[in-house]
Amino acid sequence: MPIVELNHYLIRATNLKASRDFYVNVLGMDEMDRPNFPFPGYWLGINGIVQVHMAPDNIPNRELYYLGTPKDAVSGKPGTGSIDHVAFVATDYKTVLENLKAWNVAYRPRYLKESQLFQVFIQDPDGITIELNFFNVEEDADWGGEDYNQMARVSEQLN
């Protein structure tokens, strides 16, 4: 049984409202209907498809609700733990870059010309790295990012 798409990931947010506002305002997600779980939170997504679950970090009984992380996994420390980043397919990179600038969100762009792949890396309020992938970007845009072709290469196979 092959995996065909990302269903969702859950963020244990240190500030639930700030995280929700980031995903809605900066990434353009919509708040979706959410079941009546015994803890607060949000389901966010695009075009009616839920992609991000969000819940507060430091709540009573959190070890009962969050099965993938220990009780004090977040504790105000930014980062994604064992996960390096979460990636989404996106469109209209020019509008996305304008929105990131308007919301004063730092971003790190990269481009792989031969694959026509433009990527933008950002961080959410909890320090989770998000990768936005824009496919079929043909023009040589003035995007000011890193060119994968110019990066140092690892020449040997590592085990």
Segment 136-149, tens digit of pLDDT:
887 765 666 777 67
Q: For the residues of the chain, what is the DSSP string, one character each?
A: ----S---EEEEESSHHHHHHIIIIIT--EEE-----SS--EEEEETTEEEEEEEESS-TTHHHH-SSS-TTS-TT--S-TT---EEEE---HHHHHHHHHHTT---EEEEEGGGTEEEEEEE-TT--EEEEEEE---S------EEGGGSPPP-S---
Domain with residue 39: its CATH number is: 3.10.180.10
| Mean residue pLDDT across the chain | 80
Q: What is the mean pLDDT of residues 7-15?
A: 84
The verdict on residue 102 lying in a domain is yes
Total number of domains constituting the chain: 1
Domain range enclosing 55: 9-150
Q: Residue 1: is its pLDDT beyond 70?
A: no
Higher-confidence position of 98 and 78: 98
Verdict on whether the full-model pTM lies above 0.75: no
d(CA 63, CA 44): 23
Tell me whether residue 36 is exposed, middle or buried, using C-beta atoms within 10 angstroms of its C-beta: 0 to 12, 13 to 18, 19 or more: exposed
Higher-confidence position of 56 and 78: 56
Q: Residue 132 corresponds to which amino acid? A: L
The verdict on residue 144 lying in a domain is yes
The verdict on residue 3 lying in a domain is no
Instruction: Report pLDDT for 56.
Output: 84
Q: Which residues contact 26 (CB under 8 A, 6 or more apart)?
A: 99, 100, 103, 105, 122
Higher-confidence position of 142 and 42: 42
The verdict on residue 156 lying in a domain is no
Q: What is the mean pLDDT of residues 63-70?
A: 68
Q: What is the pLDDT of residues 119-137, one digit of tens each?
A: 888 988 888 888 888 888 8
The verdict on residue 159 lying in a domain is no
Q: Residue 107 corresponds to which amino acid? A: Y
Of 79-83, 109-113, 145-149, the least confident: 79-83
The verdict on residue 157 lying in a domain is no
Q: What is the pLDDT of residues 15-40, one digit of tens each?
A: 899 999 999 999 999 999 888 887 88
